[in-house]
Amino acid sequence: MLRGSATRLTAMRGFSSTRLAQKALTIGLIPGDGIGKEVIPAGKQILEKVGPKFDLDFKFIDLHAGWETFQNTGKALPDETVEVLRRDCQGALFGAVQSPTTKVEGYSSPIVALRKAMGLFANVRPVKAVEGTNDRPVDMVIVRENTEDLYIKIEKTYTDPATGTRVAEATKRISEVATRRIATIALDIALQRLQSRGHATLTVTHKSNVLSQSDGLFREICKDVYESNKDKYGKIQYNEQIVDSMVYRMFREPECFDVVVAPNLYGDILSDGAAALVGSLGVVPSANVGPEIVIGEPCHGSAPDIAGRGIANPIATIRSTALMLEFLGYPEAAQPIYKAVDSNIRENQIKTPDLGGKSTTQQVVDDILSKI
């Protein structure tokens, strides 16, 4: 697979043949905070453009979540948002969340809560350079377990009676069930890449040399899924990498990595760091994948420093829109989106300030739309 080509990540189990055959799709739009409000409309415009070309009829429902929603309603993730997604939507696009850095009573990250509520167990983040640019030869997919690890948010603060000072503790949870699930989808993605390119590697990232029980279980189960299915996955090269050396090698030798699977926290850090290899967080997409719904989510944050200025990079959202289509079973509709984005990046003319340009969000969207 050439760098910048369609990701072809459709080896997702759980979607029924009836769902895959649907031509009328309802997509929830959840802008969230900050620049999410500026980039999520780009995803809608892209779907409206490709829909007629592939006989897909998209209906959109505007939904709410985020810090601003919490300030207005007292809930960061309203029950209605979850209910509508469950009842009416096959897919959704989520923008960004502006979470406070200090504790606010009653507030919890809505995207973390949404992943739990909707069973979105995998966060899939392709990080690829576009062929024909000066970017380094990067073409990896980071598959992040999405439901547990430290992100279960079980924390407590107490006073140590011995010192009279405060201590904060957080629970790290790794389960066999969640690890088998994430290892399987990572291996299925690697299998697709093997079939399209003739070679594939899975790298399991952990810190079991220190966290022998939690990360040790993650490592053990990933290897067991691979070893127990050698007839299916045996041609995939299986590797392991301690997370700190993984970071070092990822920046020094990114071409060595193909599919990377990691617990929640490591996957979050690795995928954000990997964005630096391809120019900006503003170009890196992700898909939150579960058995009933797929939610596309750009990897950048709410970027309050540029919110409202119309200069946010829409490419991560546009690629997330294509990734959502892939996991919903419509890879053919995703391909022209990827190609149009790659063409925009390769031409290097119409680009937002994060990539060194002076274009507005809508100018980039219009250029990509013109190339589809």
The CATH number of the domain holding residue 265 is: 3.40.718.10
Q: Does 7 have pLDDT greater than 90?
A: no
Same domain? For 168 and 220 the reply is yes
Determine which helix (DSSP H) or strand (DSSP E) holds 59, and give its type and residue range. Answer: strand 57-62
Same domain? For 219 and 345 the reply is no
15-64 pLDDT tens trace: 333 345 578 999 999 999 999 999 999 999 999 999 999 999 999 999 99
- DSSP of 134-155: SS---EEEEEEE-S-BGGG--E
Same domain? For 166 and 225 the reply is yes
The last residue of a domain, from among 235, 250, 277: 277
The last residue of a domain, from among 260, 277, 294: 277
The last residue of a domain, from among 226, 242, 277: 277
In a domain, 190, yes or no: yes
What distance in Å separates the CA atoms of residue 196 and residue 280, rounded to the nearest whole number? 27
Same domain? For 56 and 119 the reply is yes
Same domain? For 256 and 356 the reply is no
Same domain? For 108 and 46 the reply is yes
What distance in Å separates the CA atoms of residue 114 and residue 226, rounded to the nearest whole number? 30
> So what's the pLDDT on residue 279?
83
> So what's the pLDDT on residue 370?
97
In a domain, 13, yes or no: no
> So what's the pLDDT on residue 12?
46
> So what's the pLDDT on residue 131?
79
> So what's the pLDDT on residue 133?
75
HEC string for 321-355: HHHHHHHCCCHHHHHHHHHHHHHHHHHCCCCCHHH
Same domain? For 85 and 150 the reply is no
Q: What is the tally of structural domains in the chain?
A: 2
In a domain, 268, yes or no: yes
- Mean pLDDT value across residues 277-286: 91
324-362 pLDDT tens trace: 999 999 999 999 999 999 999 999 999 999 999 999 999
What distance in Å separates the CA atoms of residue 209 and residue 338, rounded to the nearest whole number? 40
In a domain, 6, yes or no: no
Same domain? For 160 and 236 the reply is yes
Same domain? For 271 and 296 the reply is no
Same domain? For 361 and 330 the reply is yes
What distance in Å separates the CA atoms of residue 307 and residue 2, rounded to the nearest whole number? 34
In a domain, 265, yes or no: yes
> So what's the pLDDT on residue 101?
77
* pTM higher than the cut 0.85: yes
- pLDDT-based confidence at 103, cuts 50/70/90? confident
- Mean pLDDT value across residues 223-229: 98
In a domain, 92, yes or no: yes
Write out the residue range of the structural domain in which residue 225 sits: 136-277
| Residue 24: CB atoms within 10 Å | 9
- Mean pLDDT value across residues 247-275: 95
Question: How large a percentage of the chain has pLDDT more than 90?
Answer: 84
Give Cβ neighbours of residue 324 (< 8 Å, ≥ 6 apart). Answer: 91, 92, 93, 287, 294, 295, 296
Q: Does 14 have pLDDT greater than 70?
A: no
Cβ 314 vs Cβ 346: under 8 Å: no
Same domain? For 262 and 296 the reply is no
In a domain, 184, yes or no: yes
Same domain? For 291 and 255 the reply is no
The interaxial angle of helices 361-371 and 36-50, nearest 10 deg, is 10
